[in-house]
Chains A and B, each alone.
Chain A
């Protein structure tokens, strides 16, 4: 028995900013959800179920906020779920929502990922001291910096490789009106002159703290066939998890990421990701993660990721654009960031990416998210055509 087909039939996204004081949490989600519904040509009444996702509840100070958000998201009288898989949650949430459709249970599912980081401070929300445990108090940057140093040591990558990504993604964001960061005069010199936070991560090598939400409407095959607008067909979905620590764990190039990509590519018939995708929206919260994930996702042999970055292959005009929307480095509403990747991948194959639209050749794109200590992965492949079989 094979799964039913599903497609993204509507996409909505807030303008991301460091503080959206103009809206409540509910208002923030509604902004994205209503745009997605309008895009899908639907109203709240058309939706069968709602799935929301966000990162730790301590980021806003509301436990299990789906309860409070039920009314605002039109979920009253319907099934509603809340997914939490750390930083990968935006991707995982989209996958859970899509499986509600591919299982044949629902026809139209609304899914929303969000974070309102201005309600709290994520770095310290991540670093609550726990009894009898080592106190990292490091936030995400402090956690990932040693892994990046491990990558530099292994690959021999030039020290400015991260800065190249930081500039490339901020330049791309200038074409995306919804991106949080717009730094018109961004340059290598500016990144190199920004303060060192966690060696080798400088201030401009990191993602911002954003308030924002992303919403997708997932439709069954008949819903997508009847859609007035373009749709993005889901060709594959995969998730993998591994523990934070275990003997001989490769934290720089995690096995879970490689296993997830392998499963995904098998489902979607991807044999050469660099050629088979028109672009990729990949979770790069610290600039160095672009070369690291290029290798983890099989876009090049291990050790060569930085060469693609340095050669401009991942730039919007390169042969395999990565994060043409500006990526996580330009907007990071954490619980939404993975869904933004999934949604931006969909917008590209729908040819709805505006000024940052890439040229479609294969009509296939990759959406990716990761979280925890580089241990939770969620990915999907979407396309402008139905899967062949």
Chain B
């Protein structure tokens, strides 16, 4: 395997972007990621993005992205209708073939155009589940309840997660929800949305983009004093129907973690794609993390959750901290589908 590292990360995120369209949102983020990478744009071997038509409200959300990248002359480019963390996986595989040495990956969406909690129900089984139209927060609530009943965790435990996320988010320039004085009591006072999940347990609707540049071997070493090396990268999916899997845990996360080698050494920090507060506790358990790991120092998706980009942002947040020397080894996680159906785990190290 070739050594591949994250060499730059850029993002933008606001609660509701009313001035700029998707292309205009993407342009500065991509520009910043490329500039920060130190790799000339013309030298970047591949571009891969993640987006979803249903939030965009029309077919081909990703086509506009090509305008933002600047594809004249034509470029090697691809797209996944998945979180851009999987676009990074595709790019990482491509680098492993030895044909290219670097790639730009980005994801974007405007969650505020519609109601993403309701819209993403369109991901469900079209014959048996969509007709019932459970919102994604309803489905998450089923998982929260199953998790709480198995582990004895309480609504206050969830509120503690939500409050810490808001406090951590104060130092995150991309946070759309942050409060230095957030407390569990204050979280417990927010409105119940899907019992046992309250407003503060749900991700804040966010508009924005995330971009990352990855590079192999000497290219990474030549542009970064301390590249964040990808030491393990794996993703797994489990059955779709909530009735045929144990939603009180996440076996696909545990499986991906095993293949990515999470348990091989201590984990300083973890950024988990926990869009609902209980998911952070559930995922930490599935990843085998204990109190020695700092979880979601950025505030995580409870601070900002640009759908289709938030998973990639987790990788970027870990990489930034490793490159800055704030951590030696970190774990980034991305998820897709109702109740954590599909999960990606990325282990990053400074050496």
Chain A contacts to B: CB under 8 angstroms: 1-4, 24-25, 55-58, 60-71, 75-86, 92, 96, 99-100, 102-105, 125-126, 128, 130, 132, 238-244, 246, 249, 255-256, 259-260, 372, 375-376
Smallest CB separation, B134 vs chain A (Å): 14
- Interface residue B291 (Cβ < 8 Å from any Cβ of A): no
10 contacts between A and B (CB under 8 A): A57-B54, A58-B54, A63-B123, A64-B123, A67-B337, A81-B82, A92-B78, A99-B93, A105-B93, A105-B96
Q: Are A64 and B77 in contact (CB under 8 A)?
A: no
For B21, B237, B255, the residue with the greatest tally of chain A CB atoms inside 10 Å of its CB is B237
Complex-state Cα separation, A240 to B230, whole angstroms: 27
| Contacts of B35-70 to chain A: CB distance below 8 A | 47, 52-54, 57-60, 62-63, 66-67
Smallest CB separation, A257 vs chain B (Å): 9
Chain B contacts to A: CB under 8 angstroms: 1-2, 21, 47, 52-54, 57-60, 62-63, 66-67, 71-82, 86, 89-90, 93-94, 96-99, 119-120, 122-127, 130, 234-241, 244, 251-252, 255, 336-338, 341-342
Q: Are B54 and A241 in contact (CB under 8 A)?
A: no
Q: Are A68 and B125 in contact (CB under 8 A)?
A: yes
In the bound complex, residues from chain A placing their C-beta under 8 Å from that of B94 are 99, 103
Q: Are A77 and B252 in contact (CB under 8 A)?
A: yes
Partner of A375, one of B57, B66, B86, B90: B66
Complex-state Cα separation, A132 to B59, whole angstroms: 16
Complex-state Cα separation, A68 to B237, whole angstroms: 11
Complex-state Cα separation, A24 to B125, whole angstroms: 11
Q: Are B241 and A62 in contact (CB under 8 A)?
A: no
Given the interface pairs A103-B93, A240-B76, the reply to whether A70 lies near B240 with Cβ below 8 Å is yes
Smallest CB separation, B286 vs chain A (Å): 14
Q: Are B59 and A125 in contact (CB under 8 A)?
A: yes
Partner of A67, one of B76, B251, B342: B342
In the bound complex, residues from chain B placing their C-beta under 8 Å from that of A56 are 53, 59-60
Q: Are A84 and B238 in contact (CB under 8 A)?
A: no
In the bound complex, residues from chain B placing their C-beta under 8 Å from that of A86 are 60, 63
Q: Are B124 and A244 in contact (CB under 8 A)?
A: no
Given contacts A81-B86, A240-B75, A241-B75, 18 further A-B contacts (CB under 8 A): A2-B98, A3-B97, A57-B53, A57-B81, A58-B53, A70-B238, A71-B239, A71-B241, A77-B236, A83-B78, A83-B79, A84-B81, A85-B78, A96-B78, A244-B66, A244-B67, A255-B74, A375-B63
Complex-state Cα separation, A256 to B2, whole angstroms: 29
In the bound complex, residues from chain B placing their C-beta under 8 Å from that of A83 are 78-81
Q: Are A242 and B57 in contact (CB under 8 A)?
A: no
Given the interface pairs A67-B336, A96-B78, A239-B76, the reply to whether A128 lies near B57 with Cβ below 8 Å is yes
Partner of A126, one of B54, B59, B96, B125: B59
In the bound complex, residues from chain A placing their C-beta under 8 Å from that of B58 are 58, 128, 130
Smallest CB separation, B246 vs chain A (Å): 13
Complex-state Cα separation, A241 to B123, whole angstroms: 28
Given the interface pairs A61-B126, A241-B74, A246-B72, the reply to whether A79 lies near B234 with Cβ below 8 Å is yes
Smallest CB separation, A139 vs chain B (Å): 11
Partner of B237, one of A4, A78, A102: A78
Smallest CB separation, B144 vs chain A (Å): 20
Q: Are A80 and B342 in contact (CB under 8 A)?
A: yes
In the bound complex, residues from chain A placing their C-beta under 8 Å from that of B93 are 96, 99-100, 103, 105
